[in-house]
Amino acid sequence: MTLSTAMTENLVCTEIAGRSVRELAEKYGTPTYVYDAEKIVQQIERLRSFDVIRYAQKANSNLAVLDLMRRLGVVVDAVSVGEIYRAHRAGFPYKAGENDPAPIVYTADIFDREALDWIEKHRVHPNLGSPDMIDQFGERCPGRDVTLRINPGFGHGHSQKTNTGGASSKHGIWHEDLDDCLARAAKYDLTISGLHMHIGSGTDFEHLAQVCQAMEEMALRVGPQLKTISAGGGLPTPYRNEDEEIDIERYYALWDATRQRLATEFEHPLSLEIEPGRYPVAQAGFLIAEIRAIKTMGENLFYLLDAGFNNLARPILYGAYHPMSVAHRVPRESAKTQEVVVGGPLCESGDIFTQTDGGLVVRRNLPVAEVGDFVVIGGAGAYGFVMGSNYNSKPFAAEVLLDQDGDHLVRQREPVSDLCRLESIPVRQ
Ligand code: LLP
């Protein structure tokens, strides 16, 4: 069985996009992230109705993924100097050609000093998420175009931690402060060419739909200087068999109607952007790990992997569910399964992939396996590698991209010797 396109939970998974899991694991070692380029392409194609697809690279900023996006005509969002740097390394120019969308937009709620320097120097288009950002940018770069990110006063996400709207969220300019912000922008002769809202990650259609109305109200207050409206990201993707795919065309129709009304009012066309992170890449990514120990703790049977929350933090952070399968090193006839807890190598009890929000350890029905077999964790292409860490001095995993030309190592496994590369012991007299 193959885990190539759908997020179907095949409990035994011998192939990813037609490549043998065992061979990938033997060639690249474990833990290794594997990305199916074809799936990324498919997901992007589903979003083509939008004028501009702006990939939120925070979800997966490997250069090879960014390069693929660029070749697909997708532009990017960046939230840090590091992400601007990555985008540029992957071939995105810093600033737009005439009438093109900004290839890179910097979206944040603060400018650290380095970011402000880069944005001034390279003329990267900023999406300003606080009144202070308007002042700081205006002083340095008067007369330029900016986007304002508005917090419409409500939000929603798959977890409270990914809800980016409402009064408990630090994101965006509070909707009631818009007039003050318009005055600030005017003081520096900034043109507000874009308006942006992003209410949360992993939300649902109903909540996403509410944003259109809030956008329309805010856009009318900004007026005809607006050229672009952005629906933000937040598109959900299925992680469980029972999760439904979002109806993109229905979602587009809502936004298109909003955009058309604004265009009529402003008497010029408006560009409609979408800014997904999870949607293009989540289902394209798999984390392959090896089972290194199997042990019983009272009533629980544990499969302990060589990957932990240093590689994939979503379960410990959000109680996030990821589909899992087993790839036997030696294929088996029997499809017998058992209830297991799946954990990693780290020195914390929370290092468990099968947990719910709040840290409750749960069991998962997985094929009977032995030490040396592999577990394939699906839905790992978004917020997987990028949220990894060196905790317990574990090196970062390798990353491999699969496409029609074969399998490509797109990030080497971090060598242990690199762990101390930037450190030094004080020289003492
Ligand atoms: N735009 C902005 C301004 C954002 O803050 C985000 C996500 C996105 C777009 C992309 O959202 P998406 O389409 O991926 O839902 N680590 C969490 C998700 C955090 C999302 C942060 N911002 C997770 O693993 O679920």
- pLDDT computed for residue 9 by the predictor: 58
Tell me the CA–centroid distance for residue 377 and ligand 1, in Å. Answer: 20
Interval 388-392 mean pLDDT: 98
* pLDDT at residue 399 is higher than 90: yes
d(CA 139, CA 52) in angstroms, rounded, equals 30
pLDDT exceeds cutoff 90 at 304? yes
Ligand 1 atom with least separation from CA of 127: 3
Least confident of 6-15, 123-132, 277-286: 6-15
> At 1, is the pLDDT very low, low, confident or very high (cuts 50, 70, 90)?
very low
| Residue 423 Cα distances to 316, 390, 397, 418, 420, angstroms | 28, 14, 21, 10, 5
CA distances in angstroms from 104 to 31, 45, 129, 201, 278, listed in the order given: 31, 20, 16, 20, 18
What integer is the mean pLDDT of 281-297? 98
Ligand 1 cavity residues, CB under 6 Å: 56, 58-59, 77, 107, 162, 164, 198, 201-202, 232-235, 275-279, 314, 382-383
Report the separation in Å between the CA atom of 36 and the middle of ligand 1, taken as the mean of its atom positions: 21
**Cα-based angle 379, 382, 387 (whole degrees, multiple of 5):** 115
- The reported pTM is 0.96
Q: Is the pLDDT of residue 64 over 60?
A: yes
| Ligand 1, atom nearest to 159 Cα | 25
Ligand 1 centroid – CA 354 distance (Å): 22
What's the first-to-final CA gap in the chain, in angstroms?
64
Atom of ligand 1 nearest to the CA of 279: 13
Q: Whose CA is nearest to atom 6 of ligand 1?
A: 233
Q: Which of the residues are catalytic?
A: 347
Spatial separation of the C-alpha atoms in residues 198 and 274, rounded to whole Å: 10
pLDDT tens per residue, range 319-355: 999 999 999 999 988 779 999 999 999 999 999 999 9
Q: Are 83 and 57 in contact (CB under 8 A)?
A: yes
Q: What's the rounded Cα separation, in Å, for the pair 87 and 257? A: 32
DSSP 148-167: EEEE-S----SSGGGB--ST
Residue nearest to atom 23 of ligand 1 (CA): 383
Q: Whose CA is nearest to atom 22 of ligand 1?
A: 201
Average pLDDT over the chain, rounded to an integer: 95
Q: Report CA(133)–ligand 1 centroid distance (Å).
A: 21
Long-range contacts of residues 306-309, Cβ cutoff 8 Å, at least 24 apart: 306/30, 306/31, 306/344, 306/345, 307/30, 307/31, 307/344, 307/345, 307/377, 307/397, 308/343, 308/344, 308/345, 308/346, 308/351, 308/392, 308/394, 309/344, 309/346, 309/348, 309/350, 309/351, 309/391
pLDDT, tens digit, 9 for 90 and up, residues 213-236: 999 999 999 999 999 999 999 999
372: left (phi over 0), alpha (psi -120 to 50) or beta: left
Cα 299 from chain centre? 37
Indicate the top mutation candidate among 52, 55, 57, 58 to test ligand 1's pocket, ranked by most ligand atoms within 8 A of CB. 58
Contact assessment for residue 102 and residue 125, using Cβ atoms and an 8 Å cutoff: yes
Per-residue pLDDT averaged across 85-112, rounded?
A: 96
pLDDT at 78: 98
Ligand 1 pocket check: which of 61, 107, 133, 278 to mutate, most ligand atoms within 8 Å of Cβ?
A: 278
Gap between the Cα atoms of 304 and 353, Å rounded: 10
User: What was the pLDDT predicted at 203?
Assistant: 81
Q: Given the structure tokens 């939008």, which residue do they identify? A: 50
> Radius of gyration over alpha carbons of the chain, in Å?
23
Q: How far is the CA of 58 from the centre of ligand 1 (A)?
A: 7
Residues 270-295, mean pLDDT to the nearest whole number: 98
